[in-house]
């Protein structure tokens, strides 16, 4: 099977496509229904952030293996305005838009590994991994 794949995310239709793609990958990697749902939901949050706050970007899906476990890593990248205060952005209930303010923190809690890199004016990269 393909070990990685990259997709553009530009509109809310792309968010739907990303969800379907992530679900297909999670099923192929043998994830349980709960794990599938978790990574698909996290992907949905991050893909929507990419559209709403990053002005569009890309997602990269990678199948990982560390010898014992199989994992799925998703990396969302945009060249948007970036995040000034990472701690604040991760705080539950904080939003600079009109949402619930739970998406970024929720995505972190739904994943095993989480990495957030952002520079104001340059863009944002969020990477999450869920191990089977």
Partner 1 sequence: MTRSASRLPDILKQNDADILRDWVKEQLATLRPEAMSESSLREQTQRFFGLLRDAVQSGELGDITGPAWTGVREMLTDLSQSRATFGYTPSETAMFVLSLKQPLFTRLRQDVGRDAEALADEVWTATLLLDKLALFTTEVYQKGREALISRQQHEMLELSTPVVQLWDNVLALPLIGTLDSARTQVVMENLLHKIVDTGAAIAIIDITGVPTVDTLVAQHLLKTVAAARLMGADCIISGIRPQIAQTIVHLGVELASVVTKATLADAFAIALQKTGATIGKPAGR
Contacts of 44 (CB under 8 A, 6+ apart): 15, 18, 19
Binding partner 1 by CB under 8 A: which of 59, 83, 89, 110?
110
How distant, in Å, are the alpha carbons of 103, 110, 125, 127 from that of 132? 22, 13, 23, 17
Q: Does 45 bind partner 1 (CB under 8 A)?
A: yes
Q: Which stretch binds partner 1 (CB under 8 A): 30-38, 61-69, 80-88, 116-124?
A: 30-38
Strands (E) across the chain are located at 4-9, 57-65, 70-78, 113-119, 123-131
Q: Does 44 bind partner 1 (CB under 8 A)?
A: yes
Q: Does 124 bind partner 1 (CB under 8 A)?
A: no
How distant, in Å, are the alpha carbons of 16, 32, 35, 53, 99 from that of 64? 24, 16, 15, 28, 32
Of the two residues 34 and 65, which places its CB atom closer to partner 1 in the complex?
Answer: 34
Binding partner 1 by CB under 8 A: which of 54, 80, 103, 123?
103
Q: Could you list the residues that contact partner 1 (CB under 8 A)? A: 12, 15-16, 19, 23, 33-34, 36-38, 40-41, 44-45, 48, 92, 99-100, 102-103, 105-106, 109-110
């Amino acid at each position: 099977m393909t070990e990685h794949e990259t997709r553009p995310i530009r509109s809310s239709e792309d968010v739907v496509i990303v969800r379907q793609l992530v679900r297909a990958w999670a099923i192929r990697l043998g994830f349980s229904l709960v794990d599938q749902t978790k990574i698909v939901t996290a992907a949905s949050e991050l893909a929507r952030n990419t559209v709403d706050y990053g002005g569009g970007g890309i997602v990269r899906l990678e199948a990982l293996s560390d010898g014992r476990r199989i994992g799925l890593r998703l990396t969302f990248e945009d060249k948007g305005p970036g995040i000034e205060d990472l701690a604040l952005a991760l705080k539950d209930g904080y939003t600079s838009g009109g949402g619930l303010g739970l998406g970024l923190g929720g995505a972190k809690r739904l994943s095993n590994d989480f990495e957030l890199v952002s520079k104001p004016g340059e863009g944002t990269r969020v990477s999450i991994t869920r191990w089977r």
